[in-house]
Chain A
């Protein structure tokens, strides 16, 4: 048998086998691992044991996957409260790697990996790349930041384990990224979608047409982005743009990925057990309903996360994916509770604004949302850069564009916004996660 098989024209790697496990077998494996990880966390993590004891729940009470609902949730604050090492379930002499988040306020959150954790991490990243159609022979330019952030090293070891050729370029220095992309014949780029927009914008200025390069896939993650954005990106670079999902608290990138269908993200649920809960009542919701994604790391050793509340809003898909994978899918995450802002009592997500703007022809994907308060009322200003395609020499046409954009936003969020057209390149470009919302309201 060939070492590499191909499945519906999409690269398939032997390590991807768990993606196709018969469901009954998958559930059995999950239950076995859930029992073990619950026991491990109970034995080694004080916070978890105290919460279990408070509820009068013992690890042995987990007899079926449904019993996961008996277990207490973990939230981000728990990681801060136990900073730096309070949630570790392995002694330091078994921990081989630490990563930390770039917390915007106060202490970062710290995550740990044993050698086995790193092996699992690489394997789920191999499955991610395979699902995105990559294989040995591909040249992967990894523009995720290397360092404490999990994105860089996570993608790096995964791509290496796949057998691809990795360019560990890290983020930033856009001109060099584009030069190397062209000179080395990069076939896949790992980056945040907002950084790819910067590359898309810069390449023509350097006289390079990305559509003529061997680049065929973008592996985009670390921030929510929309289908409308994909529709803009793909033809401009002649690539397939894949959405991948992950978070440091769980493992980093590699929690889930789109497949060749580019419709929802498969969760590598043999390692990360997904639940959807109502974020208000915390009750589990049936498959198909929208709610907050909760993940349990079924095989993590150094830092097991039991029922971690991701703050990401999505739904578990029930139908089987045409790609043949049996692992379940989540709808792509366009909304993250953390990004939500409240304006005049209404919850708004930046992705809703992005969707509204991109629905109008000829507008740039560069925008920023500025929130202000004059002491009485909140105000939203949406700044959108004018593009050559959208620019007209008549005031009437520009006013029409402005009205169209603000009407499109109003239709979606039901709030009137002040839409300001701004000159090109005035909105700050990001080399990592884009900062879409500038909140100038006094707290």
Chain B
């Protein structure tokens, strides 16, 4: 149920963000979503793509430092309160969230939340027990094509 996320170290300077996107586009790799966490000095770019192994390879070939982390994606109705239920479940189970971000599909009325947990397996169990839908990679990319 876990999804492979690529993370990449970026220096905080103009134009730096477009380069990895260009490299992936040239390799014919579609970016499902990306999120940037940045500080004054540097940023960490997080990417979800279908062909994560190939993406890692082409990015590393370009000289980047890339690592792979397993993240958990959940689907939530894109309306007020949808997020609150999930967060409450996580808090109640005392799961530690390293970070999270959200995105929506073009056509959908539902948003996807991506979580980075210390312990993704335990988190998946808790979420599923609470009836929250955890989306696996295949499903995610299929949805993206609709």
Q: A residues touching B (Cβ–Cβ < 8 Å)?
A: 386-388, 391-396, 398-399, 402, 420-426
Contact = CB atoms under 8 A, between A and B. Distances in A.
What class of interface size applies to chain B in its complex with A? Answer: 20 to 34
A287 to B, nearest CB: 48
Contact of A425 (B37, B63, B98): B63
B42 interface: yes
Nearest to B63: A425
B74 interface: no
Contacts of A423: 9-11, 63-65
Given A388-B65, A391-B9, 19 more contacts: A386-B65, A387-B65, A391-B7, A393-B5, A393-B44, A393-B46, A393-B69, A394-B44, A394-B99, A394-B116, A395-B37, A395-B39, A396-B98, A421-B11, A421-B41, A421-B42, A422-B11, A423-B10, A424-B64
Contacts of A420: 41-42
B67 A395 contact: no
A395 B40 CA distance: 11
A398 B65 contact: no
B78 to A, nearest CB: 26
**Top 5 A-B residue pairs of the complex, sorted by shortest distance between their CB atoms:** A393-B7, A391-B65, A425-B63, A386-B9, A393-B69
A398 B11 contact: no
Nearest to A390: B65
A388 B38 CA distance: 19
Contacts of B64: 423-424
B67 A392 contact: yes
Contacts of A425: 63
B23 to A, nearest CB: 13
B41 A424 contact: no
Contact of B39 (A386, A388, A399, A422): A399
Contacts of B65: 386-388, 391, 423-424
Interface of B: 5, 7, 9-11, 37-39, 41-42, 44, 46, 63-67, 69, 98-99, 116
A16 B69 CA distance: 57
Nearest to A385: B65
Contacts of B99: 394-395
B7 to A, nearest CB: 3
B63 A398 contact: no
Contacts of B5: 393
B42 A398 contact: yes
Nearest to B9: A386
Contacts of A386: 9, 65
Contacts of A402: 41
Contacts of B38: 395
Nearest to A423: B11
Contact of B9 (A396, A399, A421): A421
A398 B38 CA distance: 11
Contacts of B37: 395
8 contacts: A387-B65, A388-B65, A393-B5, A393-B116, A395-B37, A395-B99, A423-B10, A423-B65
Contacts of A391: 7, 9, 65, 67
Nearest to B99: A394
Among B5, B37, B42, the one with the most A-chain Cβ atoms within 10 Å of its Cβ is B42
A403 to B, nearest CB: 12
Contacts of B9: 386, 391, 398, 421, 423
Of B9, B44, B69, the most chain A CB neighbours within 10 A belong to B9
Contact of A394 (B11, B63, B98): B98
A382 to B, nearest CB: 12
A388 B10 contact: no
A421 B65 CA distance: 12
B34 to A, nearest CB: 13
A422 B12 CA distance: 9
Nearest to B6: A393
Contacts of B63: 423-425
Contact of A393 (B10, B11, B67): B67
A212 to B, nearest CB: 22
Contact of B44 (A387, A395, A424): A395
A424 B44 CA distance: 14
Contacts of B46: 393
A404 to B, nearest CB: 15
Interface centre among A393, A396, A402, A424 (most CB of B within 10 A): A393
Nearest to B98: A394
Given A393-B116, A394-B116, A388 B44 contact: no
Contacts of A394: 44, 98-99, 116
Contacts of A388: 65-67
A60 B64 CA distance: 67
